[in-house]
Structure 1
């Protein structure tokens, strides 16, 4: 994640049925580059949607395990 200013960050991972698998409350992060590591060993094989909320904006990333 690259933040231009201090922002509140929350990440959630859902399966394709919309069930929340994991939520990561990143809290308030300072401006700069941040690395998010997700341990996929706990996920069964499949496709997941990673929803990243940064302040008022939302980004989606598809994860394949």
Structure 2
């Protein structure tokens, strides 16, 4: 039996950033990430314990 995931939109998704929204879903053993504008295109999943290091690594790529 499958259940619908509880997707949450990024806190960085605001009125001015509406074109670059992501959603995340905590699925106990892993975290799923998708584009909120095109959810049917698929998801990226990472192990739950790797999610925080994954986000921290992404932040280093976007810093000047």
| TM-score, length of structure 2 as denominator length | 0.35
| TM-score, length of structure 1 as denominator length | 0.34
Point out which structure has higher relative CO (alpha carbons under 8 A, 6+ apart): 1
Q: Which has the higher strand share?
A: 1
